[in-house]
Amino acid sequence: MADQQEFDPQLFDAVDVIRAKRDGGELSDEAIDWVIAAYTRGVVAHEQMSALLMAVLLRGMSRPEVARWTGAMIASGDRLSFADLGRPTADKHSTGGVGDKITLPLAPLVAACGVAVPQLSGRGLGHTGGTLDKLEAVPGWRASLSLDEVRAQLRDVGAVICAATETLAPADKLLYALRDVTATVESVPLIASSIMSKKIAEGTGALVLDVKVGSGAFMKELADALELARTMVDLGTDAGVRTVALVTDMSTPLGLTAGNALEVRESVEVLAGGGPADVVELTVELAREMVGAAGVQGPDPRDVLASGRAMDVWRRMIAAQGGDPDVPLPTAKETEVVRAPSSGVLTRLDAYAVGVAAWRLGAGRARREDPVQAGAGVELHAKPGDEVVEGQPLLTLHTDTPERFPRALAALEGGFEVGAAAAGAAARAVVLERITP
């Protein structure tokens, strides 16, 4: 890739680049490098980049174009390296869902297996929760670390979960904000390059992708999720990062909680040897993939989880970032119970409905600058396939502001069904597909 320091604002004209993609052409490497650098520097106007993004959404991109676009975004900032750690590194990225607290038990579990985990995470927006918001429910815990602090913690503890620095793929931050307000979010090339530019720039040696599909995920259809997974695996592989993807179910919330402190509490239960079966299963499956991609041979992650070693890493990881793992987590001031309308089997519990309810209770944000309530969220007392009795609790809503209850309850209308059948529908597998290079 051309040295970004040699940027020539006169090398191309933005209108010509837009026209080429609008008419279905394939952009040259030089044109892609230029337009990303020019937009990052303010040479290309927002309305021009908006037009190009729409052309990409409508016309698509070839594999070489997506790879070059991703590389140009990486080149807009710093690229980290952890080659001097003395141990292999692996990271995981989830495309987001409801109740997806997997990173919390996964990072310490993989570290306990001998693989360093530099997990740079984000915040929630809308109905999908953010890892940093969850961990900030732990009193004293801080998300912002310097690179020196990240390196020291990886050496001493083996795992770190923190916010990405502003210097990693800054072009992506600009493009992400623009896509959000120009109806160009849904483009697979733009989604894939956004995710992978940050993950490749992060410098991890191996990457496992958790691509969610279902009502509570960004990708609603399996075919779309598979296309995104394959595109990201190709991008990682082309960049020299050992990459694999699992396509996983997000039609029903993961585990029994959706909300920040609620999910931390459930994650600790998993690390202590308990927790919901689906959370344990996905944590172990992703850990196996990360350890395998890092090339480490050793005990099965399920056995490591049962040994308590992952809990030890969790406690050290939380303490290293200023948190106190022994202090009780925040709880909401008010609760309201949603009860089963009849006896039978819970045949459906829609992840999106639960996610929106948690968001409206205060667990999420509509804008990135909005605050969140640590104790807000939804607690599940049954999952699809469970028999229920009329009047028994199905869900408990948690919030500090009870005036939020009506809108949360409205989000849940039609979001669950109780059938008269004596046996519930067969449970859907958590892992639906595995995508390799």
Q: Are 309 and 378 in a shared domain?
A: no
Q: How far is CA 146 from CA 88, 133, 247, in A?
A: 21, 19, 33
Q: Are 120 and 43 in a shared domain?
A: no
Gap between the Cα atoms of 364 and 126, Å rounded: 6
Gap between the Cα atoms of 37 and 26, Å rounded: 18
Report, as residue numbers or ranges, the catalytic residues: 93, 172, 179, 194, 198
Which of 277, 306, 326 is the C-terminal boundary of a domain?
326
Q: Are 247 and 109 in a shared domain?
A: yes
Strand partners, 397: 336, 378
Q: Is the pLDDT of residue 421 over 90?
A: no
CATH number at residue 47: 1.20.970.10
Cβ 9 vs Cβ 43: under 8 Å: yes
Q: Are 16 and 142 in a shared domain?
A: no
Cβ 114 vs Cβ 232: under 8 Å: no
Mean pLDDT of 366-370: 71
Neighbours of 328 (CB within 10 A): 9
Gap between the Cα atoms of 52 and 59, Å rounded: 10
pLDDT of residue 374: 95
Gap between the Cα atoms of 79 and 350, Å rounded: 39
User: Smallest Cα–Cα separation from 17: which of 61, 62, 50, 52?
Assistant: 52
Mean pLDDT of 199-218: 94
Q: Which residues contact 337 (CB under 8 A, 6 or more apart)?
A: 393, 395, 396, 397
The secondary structure of 363-408 as a DSSP string is IS-SSTT----TT-EEEES--TT-EE-TTSEEEEEEES-GGGHHHH
Is 283 within the bounds of a domain? Answer: yes
Is 73 within the bounds of a domain? Answer: no
Q: Are 248 and 284 in a shared domain?
A: yes
Residue showing tokens 């599909």: 213
Binned at pLDDT 50, 70 and 90, residue 177 comes out as confident
How many domains, the chain? 3
Is 431 within the bounds of a domain? Answer: no
| Distance of alpha carbon 82 from the chain centroid | 22
Q: Which of 87-91, 124-128, 144-148, 238-242 has the lowest mean pLDDT?
A: 124-128
DSSP assignment, residue 417?
E
| Mean pLDDT score across all residues of the chain | 93
Q: Highest-confidence range of 3-12, 158-167, 384-393, by mean pLDDT?
A: 384-393
pTM greater than the 0.85 cutoff: yes
Q: Are 298 and 372 in a shared domain?
A: no
Mean pLDDT of 142-158: 95
For the CA atoms of 131, 265, 289, 112, what is the dihedral angle to 10 degrees? 110
User: Smallest Cα–Cα separation from 359: which of 402, 411, 403, 400?
Assistant: 411
Is 106 within the bounds of a domain? Answer: yes
Mean pLDDT of 379-395: 96
Give me the domain span that covers residue 285.
83-166+196-326
pLDDT digits (tens, 9 = 90+) for 64-74: 999 999 999 99
Amino acid at 401: T
Q: Is the pLDDT of residue 423 over 70?
A: no
Gap between the Cα atoms of 142 and 129, Å rounded: 17
Strand partners, 163: 121
Pair of tokens at residue 325: 């793992």
Q: Is the pLDDT of residue 124 over 80?
A: no
Is 280 within the bounds of a domain? Answer: yes
pLDDT of residue 3: 44
Which of 296, 326, 356 is the C-terminal boundary of a domain?
326
Q: Are 16 and 95 in a shared domain?
A: no
Cβ 264 vs Cβ 101: under 8 Å: yes
Name the percent of the chain in helix, strand, coil, to the closest 5: 45, 15, 40
pLDDT of residue 166: 83
Q: Are 320 and 349 in a shared domain?
A: no
Is the Cα dihedral 401, 402, 406, 412 positive or negative?
Answer: positive
Pair of tokens at residue 70: 């991703």
CATH number at residue 394: 3.90.1170.30
Q: Which residues contact 194 (CB under 8 A, 6 or more apart)?
A: 73, 172, 175, 176, 179
Gap between the Cα atoms of 10 and 5, Å rounded: 14
Pair of tokens at residue 357: 């309810």
pLDDT of residue 368: 65
Binned at pLDDT 50, 70 and 90, residue 180 comes out as confident
Phi-psi region of 45 (alpha: psi -120 to 50; beta: other; left: phi over 0): beta
